[in-house]
Amino acid sequence: MSQTEKMGLKPLQTIPLRQVAIQDDFWSDRLRNVIETVVPYQWDALNDAIPGAEPSHTIENFRLAAGESEGEYYGMVFQDSDLGKWLETVGFALSKERNPELEKLADEVIELLGRAQRPDGYLNSYYTVKEPDARWTNLRDYHELYCAGHLMEAAVAYYEATGKREFLDIMCRYADYIGTVFGSNPGQKKGYDGHPEVELALVKLYQASGNRSYLELSQFFVEERGRQPHFFDEEEKERDAAQGQIGRKKRRYDYFQAHMPVREQKTAEGHSVRAVYLYSAMADLAAVNQDAGMLEACKELWNDVVQRKMYVTGGIGSSAFEERFTVPYDLPNDRAYTETCAAIGLVFWAQRMLQLEKDRKYADVMELALYNGVLSGISLDGKSYFYVNPLEVWPDTANFRNDMHSVKVKRQPWFGCACCPPNIARLITSLGQYIYSANDEERELYTHLYIGSKVQFEVDGKPVQLSQETDYPWDGQAALQLSLEMPAEFTLSVRLPGWCRKSVIKVGGVETEADRIENGYAKLKRTWKDGDRIELSFDMHVEMVRAHPNVRENAGKVALQRGPVVFCLEEIDNGSNLQDIVLSGDAQFDAHYEEQLLGGVTVLTGIGSRSVVPPESSGSLYTTQPFDMVSVPVKAIPYFAWSNRVPGEMTVWIRSR
Amino acid sequence: MSQTEKMGLKPLQTIPLRQVAIQDDFWSDRLRNVIETVVPYQWDALNDAIPGAEPSHTIENFRLAAGESEGEYYGMVFQDSDLGKWLETVGFALSKERNPELEKLADEVIELLGRAQRPDGYLNSYYTVKEPDARWTNLRDYHELYCAGHLMEAAVAYYEATGKREFLDIMCRYADYIGTVFGSNPGQKKGYDGHPEVELALVKLYQASGNRSYLELSQFFVEERGRQPHFFDEEEKERDAAQGQIGRKKRRYDYFQAHMPVREQKTAEGHSVRAVYLYSAMADLAAVNQDAGMLEACKELWNDVVQRKMYVTGGIGSSAFEERFTVPYDLPNDRAYTETCAAIGLVFWAQRMLQLEKDRKYADVMELALYNGVLSGISLDGKSYFYVNPLEVWPDTANFRNDMHSVKVKRQPWFGCACCPPNIARLITSLGQYIYSANDEERELYTHLYIGSKVQFEVDGKPVQLSQETDYPWDGQAALQLSLEMPAEFTLSVRLPGWCRKSVIKVGGVETEADRIENGYAKLKRTWKDGDRIELSFDMHVEMVRAHPNVRENAGKVALQRGPVVFCLEEIDNGSNLQDIVLSGDAQFDAHYEEQLLGGVTVLTGIGSRSVVPPESSGSLYTTQPFDMVSVPVKAIPYFAWSNRVPGEMTVWIRSR
């Protein structure tokens, strides 16, 4: 490929999930909650067994496809993907601990998938049940390959956790069949899905199966995207000629990131979840193919997102309409869309960029999205979800105004379009993958995230265990302890978080300089021996964050951040009319842990001021008199924990003088 | 009526338009522009003769109704009302100066109306052409009485200007027929229109014709509104039973101000134009019927609007969805709907409240809406219009975001739903009605507005002329000079504007105290003689206006106002990123007139500060470093004159420290 310039990219390697065990005050409960509560709850949801929630019909759709039930298909065209995300979550959960009962459920539904699969390998409940003759007639709108992708990811996770090949084989058969349908040969479709997903899934399938044709198919889909003549035009012509399925409302192709070939795209456009799934696949291909041109494209897109289109919470996609990116610096807080899935997709992409570039800046964004824009999507009890994650909520207004119709004041039990709940579940159960990376060639272990855990890895074929202890994200201390049979020389590369102004490293209790600091990672190269202990201390001050002056919604405002956690004000703690609270530029905040609050969180307390509101009877809406101001206590809670008490106002950005 | 308590309300009397001649630097050009440019332009529009504009079809619809043309009805169901507003404008224009050519056009179209009228008096082109058997089957949605109302208003204006009865007679015949259809007798409909308008028009028709049944019909419509069993439910049942015309999307009845009987309504709800048209009729009925209960209802609604739901420009209706009022203090600037027609309706209502209550506070709002929220709806050349009048515009965002789809960055030549352009034209041509009022019983002339003009009135049957000279709104001086045959004792009541902190009155060059000041009016009771001259001097300082702290969008911001004129910043004068400009609390502004700018306006200049924007290459969207600030010149132009140069950003509210 002419535009591909080979170079010596040496990406980090992901440590397989089964080698990482999380034991962490903050995350273990969440992980257990997902496994013990969310997974069964979501199984019930997939089976329409949750009273009051919108029906899912996902399992029933596959029974219909297998010819084992009678009735109509129900649900979105991409309902299959919910089962994919659930099964992937189950796979991740089983990596941590086998669970015969859960495995039995999964095996049964995998068998159902096998029975629903057509003899040629095709596996999609919507088309099989509803339009058996219309396969591959509307890639633009009908999510056929998207669903395939989620099932592929699930199959890989389940195989890696259990070693059972059945699901993997089903999906390889499907991928083989897809490979006959799509491609550059005569009679094949030069197409791709309107919703990227299969591209990154095929890379995983390649890695799990070793079958390089899946990698090539992924690359085909990515490179074809946005080329002329445009596939979506071509397939529409075919639909029109066949008077077949009517396409949905026509959209501009930037909605699908198909407005130009991906290597030419310089700005993040369109549906934000689709965007980051595509960019993740592009990063995968850059890594696997040593493709510097593709990496450059990823970097340009990354800069556009994080420098112009990302909320301070790591949320992306500021428009409810088309769930999309808009124009630079357009980040309204009260109409933020910031879909939970988009923040999750940003974590996926950030991890891939981090492995490629070994630069802390990617880990900073990954961590920011994880602790804020992702985690806000799930309630503390794991039973209700935000699809949309605004940074300001005014319940009276949000409940009334049509232009805020997507904003919910309370998390909802499930959704008609239930993409976010299972997506958050699979991210939390796979969190172990994001903490460390290996750089085998350099005999190096990277620590990206501070999460209490044990990781197994090898140096010269000998097992090494690193145990991490920390009270993160409430405290900036982390201790890493090594356990190994014989001393071995290798490098520990520990991330110095971007939010930290001062960090101290001690080895064996003695303050130590890193051998060198590279891209925000402190490198400690030693001959390490059993029991060696590294203590990291990251100053975790309360920071007042300001947005670029071009972000009009945040002009004159600050957000409070401490460590990776962004804070917010809730009405229950601060009274109503939160917009009236003003912080001085040198306001001091005290951080303390409240064990009884919101499952145990660190809160920030300080002093602000607010107007003396004239009595209602005085009645003037406008006045030429400045308002008197009075001092008021201000209490901020972590953004992710908002809306777990009574419904009320919330704001992340606070006026500052 | 039991709930009606009679009391001695003595409303002021409107001075007929033909007795007031405007000669004013600010308004005469606008008036001439409407008469010489807008009226012919709108005539062309009604006749689909404007290249590039959406067709209106209004005249052609009447030709179809008269059986004089072949084809299909085209346009909104309320297309007839556009002709009503145009003819009313023509009537007002002819009050100023007869114009045979224009009168001939009008007479011809009035004859067409006569031919389109059914033998029973019915006159509506939509139903006559399209659904002749479906009259009065969908009062809720189809604007039948609304259209009747606009034609009635036009007939009254045309009659008062020309003395010709033909149009008046046509509309009386229609009103007589309507009176047979609607009422409390068996077989009559206990109904009313979804869009109030006929109610205030019937009061005018009563006043012009002396036929009291029109007043009673108006009262019937107003009092029935919102009663149970609900008329809209009843007519819907009938439609369903007849399988007739399908109603439009069902809405909550507060949209129509029909959620409860009008006397029980305490808050302004629903579609804002409908609301103020209804409230105007309620005020009319309070005045004509000496109905204190109705007046009380009006006052409660007034307070809700001006204390909780009105923009600083006098715009009302903050939601594009349903063009409606929302919840208290919900006044977003960038998504303000603030339809031009709603501000016009507020002027109508304010004038009626002013006549009833003789209180400056109503004149203040009337003047505020007139110079800001109304006048912003028309370009300086009178050829393009805003339907929606936001208080902040960010072109890139407004053009991109779907939740701002109603916001236009430039005025448009005409609209598919063309209610605003003819509405603004009829207000400007009838402006003479708003300047003065008589209080004959008290031998008193009120001056409400400062607009260069001559008004004729009588004292004891003898003619008196008052000439007003002023450079308002750019200058707070006004001189009133009397011309009368013989000395006569009467009272001049002059409004001391609410925006003015200090006013001086001179009579015959000598500073004088008013005899008394009542509700913001200075009363000068004298035996006046020919040539007496009263000089009024109102201190016109630049004021920094603050919104109630509950208005979240304006927290920490000020608006600049001088006299009745609200100012704004435009990008062309201040650069982009207007939200970054900050004024100190004691910022001083200089006001000076720029003859060459925007047809001649006073501008405000001062000093503000703004952030030193980090270079794009530094790239951070968020930072913990405060931005350096630099002083910048700030230039504000009158809000009404925005968007008459190049498209760009605009903001009324400016950050303040």
Task: Tell me the nearest-neighbour CA distance from B549 into chain A, angstroms.
Answer: 6
Shared domain check, B489 and B404: no
**pLDDT, tens digit, for every residue of A625-634?**
889 999 999 9
**What is the C-alpha separation between B136 and B231, in angstroms, rounded?**
12
Q: What is the pLDDT at residue A315?
A: 98
For residues B343 and B377, membership in a common domain is answered with yes
* Chain A residue with the nearest C-alpha to that of B313: A622
The whole-number average pLDDT for the span B364-375 is 98
In our burial notation (b when 16+ CB lie closer than 10 A, e otherwise), range A576-604 reads ebbbbbbbeeebebebeeeeebbeebbbb
Residue A636's pLDDT is: 98
Q: Are B385 and B424 in contact (CB under 8 A)?
A: yes
Any A CB within 8 A of B551 CB: yes
The reply to whether B9 falls in a domain is no
Q: Does the distance separating the beta carbons of A400 and B619 come in below 8 Å?
A: no
Q: B337-362: per-residue pLDDT in tens?
A: 999 999 999 999 999 999 999 999 99
pLDDT (0 to 100) of residue A284 = 98
B148 has pLDDT over 70: yes
Which of B321, B400, B580 faces A549 most closely, judged by CB atoms?
B580
Contact A555 B580 (CB under 8 A): yes
Residue A456, min C-alpha distance to chain B (Å):
36
pLDDT digits (tens, 9 = 90+) for A266-278: 999 999 999 999 9
Q: Does B401 sit within 8 Å of A546, measured CB to CB? A: no
Per the annotation, the verdict on A419 as an active-site residue is yes
Range of the domain at A515: 443-538
Q: Do B545 and A307 touch (CB under 8 A)?
A: no
- Per-residue pLDDT tens for A376-392? 999 998 888 899 999 99
- Supply the mean pLDDT for chain B: 94
What total of structural domains would you count in chain B? 3
Give the type of residue at A138.
Answer: N
Please, are residues A256 and A274 in contact by the beta-carbon 8 Å criterion?
yes
pLDDT at B4 > cutoff 50: no
**What is the model's pLDDT at position A244?**
62
Specify whether B562 is located in the same domain as B512: no
Q: What is the CATH number of the domain that holds B350?
A: 1.50.10.20
Q: Is B615 touching A (CB cutoff 8 A)? A: no
Per-residue pLDDT reduced to its tens digit, B180-238:
999 999 999 999 999 999 999 999 999 999 999 999 999 999 999 999 999 999 999 99
Please give the average per-residue pLDDT across A311-324, as a whole number: 96
Inter-chain touch B403–A320, beta carbons under 8 Å: yes
User: B interface mutation test: which of A308, A319, A548 has the most B CBs within 10 A?
Assistant: A548
| DSSP codes, B47-65 | TT-STTSPP--HHHHHHHH
Work out the average pLDDT over B320-327: 95
Percent of chain A with pLDDT over 90: 87
Residue-level pLDDT at B5: 41
Does the residue A146 lie in any domain? no
A325, A502, A552, A622, best to mutate vs chain B, most B CBs in 10 Å = A622
CB contact under 8 A, B330 and A577: no
Non-local (6+) Cβ contacts of B70 within 8 A are B64
Cβ atoms of B490 and B443 within 8 Å: the answer is yes
CB B627 within 8 A of CB B554: no
Judge whether B456 and B373 are in contact, CB under 8 Å.
Answer: no
Flag if B546 and A614 touch (Cβ within 8 Å).
no
End-to-end CA distance of chain B: 55
Could you tell me the pLDDT band of residue A454, with boundaries at 50, 70 and 90? very high
**B611 and chain A in contact, CB less than 8 A:** yes
Question: Nearest Cα to B337, choosing from B322, B327, B352?
Answer: B322
Q: Are residues A449 and A511 in the same domain?
A: yes
Cβ under 8 Å to A: B residues 617-656: 619-627, 655
Assign residue B465 the CATH number of its domain: 2.60.40.1180
Is the pLDDT score of B415 beyond 80? no
| Residues B549 and B533 occupy one common structural domain | no
How many Å apart are CA B29 and CA A279, to the nearest integer?
59
pLDDT of residue B244: 62
- What does the pLDDT read at residue A242? 80
With an 8 Å Cβ cutoff, are B403 and A582 in contact?
no
Averaged pLDDT, B452-474: 96
Looking at residue A13, its pLDDT comes to: 95
pLDDT beyond 60 at B617: no
My answer on whether omega of the bond before B229 falls inside 30° of 0, hence cis, is: yes
User: CA of B518: how far to CAs of A511, B361, B417, B503, B528, in Å?
Assistant: 81, 12, 43, 15, 20
Q: Is B542 on the interface with A (CB under 8 A)?
A: no
Model confidence pLDDT, tens digit, residues A336-355: 999 999 999 999 999 999 99
B335 touches chain A (CB under 8 A): yes
- List the single residue in A with minimal CA-CA distance to B585: A626
Looking at the structure, tell me whether residues A546 and A642 fall in a common domain. Answer: yes
Q: Is the pLDDT of residue B248 over 70?
A: no
One domain for residues A557 and A516: no
The CATH number given to whatever domain includes residue A462 is 2.60.420
Helices B272-288, B340-357: axis angle to 10 degrees equals 20
Q: What is the pLDDT of residue A68?
A: 97
Beta bridge partner(s), residue B445: B438, B492
Chain A: residue whose CA lies nearest to B626: A546
Asked whether residue B158 is domain-assigned, the answer is: no
**Residue that is last in its domain, among B515, B538, B561:** B538
pLDDT of A3 > 60? The answer is no
**How many A-B residue pairs are in contact by the CB < 8 A criterion?**
145
- Same structural domain, A291 and A424: yes
pLDDT above 90 for A251 = no
Establish whether A489 is a catalytic residue: no
Are B589 and B487 part of one and the same domain?
A: no
Domain match, B455 and B399 both: no
Cross-chain residue pair A555–B579, CB shorter than 8 Å = yes
Let me know whether B410 and B502 are in one domain: no
Provide the pLDDT for residue B307. Answer: 96
Let me know if residue A216 belongs to a domain. no
Last residue of a domain, one of A396, A414, A433: A433
Q: In terms of DSSP bridges, do strands A650-651 and A653-656 run parallel, antiparallel, or are they unpaired? A: unpaired
The mean per-residue pLDDT over the stretch B571-585 comes to 96
**Cβ-Cβ contacts under 8 Å, A308 against chain B:** 621
Inter-chain residue contact B321 with A614, CB threshold 8 Å: no
pLDDT tens sequence across A62-94: 999 999 999 999 998 999 999 999 999 999 999
Q: Which residue has the higher pLDDT, A108 or B617?
A: A108
Instruction: Name chain B contacts of A397, Cβ cutoff 8 Å.
Output: 326-327, 330
Q: Are B394 and B334 in contact (CB under 8 A)?
A: yes
**ipTM of the complex as predicted:** 0.94
- For the ranges A61-75, A399-413, B21-35, B261-275, which has the lowest average pLDDT? A399-413
| pLDDT value of position A56 | 86
pLDDT band at B2 (very low <50, low <70, confident <90, very high): very low
Chain B hits for A401, CB-CB cut-off 8 Å, are 319, 321, 326, 330
Q: Which candidate in A269, A323, A392, A570 is catalytic? A: A323
Q: How confident is the model at residue B251 (pLDDT cuts 50, 70, 90)?
A: confident
Instruction: Quote the CA–CA distance of A189 and A136 in Å, as a whole number.
Output: 9
Helix, strand, or coil (residue A300): helix
Residue B171 is assigned to a structural domain of this protein: no
Task: Give residue A247's pLDDT.
Answer: 57
- Chain A neighbors of B319, CB-CB under 8 A: 400-403
* B519 and B482 fall within a common domain: yes
Domain end position, chosen among A498, A522, A538: A538
B266 touches chain A (CB under 8 A): no
Give A312's contacts in chain B (Cβ within 8 Å).
Answer: 622
Segment 361-420 of chain A within 8 Å of chain B by CB: 394, 396-397, 400-404
Q: Cα distance from A27 to chain B (closest Cα, Å)? A: 27
Contact (CB<8Å) B307/A619: yes
In this predicted structure, the answer to whether residue B501 has a pLDDT above a threshold of 90 is yes
In a domain, A393, yes or no: yes
Query: What 3-state DSSP class applies to B605?
Result: strand
Percent of chain B residues topping a pLDDT of 90: 87
Using a CB-CB cut-off of 8 Å, the residues of chain B touching A394 are: 330, 552
**B389, part of any domain:** yes
- A147, A172, A341, A419: the active-site residue: A419
* A contacts of B626 (beta carbons < 8 Å): 546, 585
Q: Is A45 a domain residue?
A: no
